[in-house]
Structure 1
Amino acid sequence: MSHIKRNGTNAILSTSVEYHGFVFLAGITADDLSKDVAGQTAEIIAKIDAALEEHGTDNTRLLSAQIWLKDIRDRDAMNALWTKWLPAGAQPARACVEANMASARHLVEIMITACK
């Protein structure tokens, strides 16, 4: 039986799960909720980079991304950072939708699947 590696596990979720060379990140949000959508996106991208590095991979190995925005009109501001962060030719399959967030102060949440 293959080993499943779980990190940051609590009663509700694991912040990341690795299995057979695939890395699944939980939805990541910013810690500083006083920031605007660009500030929160920048913080989330940095957290994604750190989580991927912890698993021995990076943003050149993204497979899919799910992005939730509190207000879909913030998509362009979020995409400005997202597109600068993605390496050319490494764009994942992606969904980006407007959603009711866990807190009114959360403006964006991003969930990633990558491979090693």
Structure 2
Amino acid sequence: MSKITRHGSNAVLSNAVEYHNFVFLAGITADDLSQDVSGQTEQVLRRIDELLEVHGTDKTRLLQAQVWLKDIRDREALNKLWSAWLPEGGAPVRACVQANMADPRHLVEIMITACR
């Protein structure tokens, strides 16, 4: 049976899970919730870069992204930063939806699946 490695686990979730050469990141949100959607998105993308590096991969190896926005009208602002962050020709499959966030100050959350 293949080994599943869980990181930063609690009773509800793991912050990351490694299986074979796949890395699954939990939904990443901003720390500074006083920022607008652009500021929060920048924080989230920086954090994703950091976490991917910790787990032996990077954004050139993205497979899937799930994006939740508090207000779907912020999609254009998110996409501007997202497109600039992605490596050329490296866009993963992606869903982007409006959602009620656990904390109403959260404006964006992104969940990533990557490979090594």
Q: TM-score, normalised by structure 1?
A: 0.98
Cα distance in structure 1, aligned partners of 2:30 and 2:54: 18
Aligned ranges for residues 1-116 of structure 1 at < 5 Å? 1-116=1-116
DSSP-derived class of the 1:80 partner: helix
1:51 maps to a residue whose letter is L
1:81 maps to a residue whose letter is L
Cα distance in structure 1, aligned partners of 2:2 and 2:51: 21
Cα distance in structure 2, aligned partners of 1:46 and 1:9: 21
Tell me how far 1:5 sits from its aligned partner.
1.2
For structure 1, which runs of at least 5 residues remain unmatched after alignment? Answer: none
Matched residues, percent identical?
Answer: 70
1:54 maps to a residue whose letter is V
Tell me how far 1:101 sits from its aligned partner.
0.6
1:62 maps to a residue whose letter is L
Give structure 1 regions of 4+ aligned residues with deviation exceeding 4 angstroms. none
Aligned residues: 116
Tell me how far 1:95 sits from its aligned partner.
0.3
Tell me how far 1:3 sits from its aligned partner.
1.4
Tell me how far 1:4 sits from its aligned partner.
1.1
Tell me how far 1:88 sits from its aligned partner.
0.7
Tell me how far 1:2 sits from its aligned partner.
1.5
Q: TM-score, normalised by structure 2?
A: 0.98
For structure 2, which runs of at least 5 residues remain unmatched after alignment? Answer: none
Considering only aligned residues, what root-mean-square deviation do their CA atoms show, in Å? 0.6
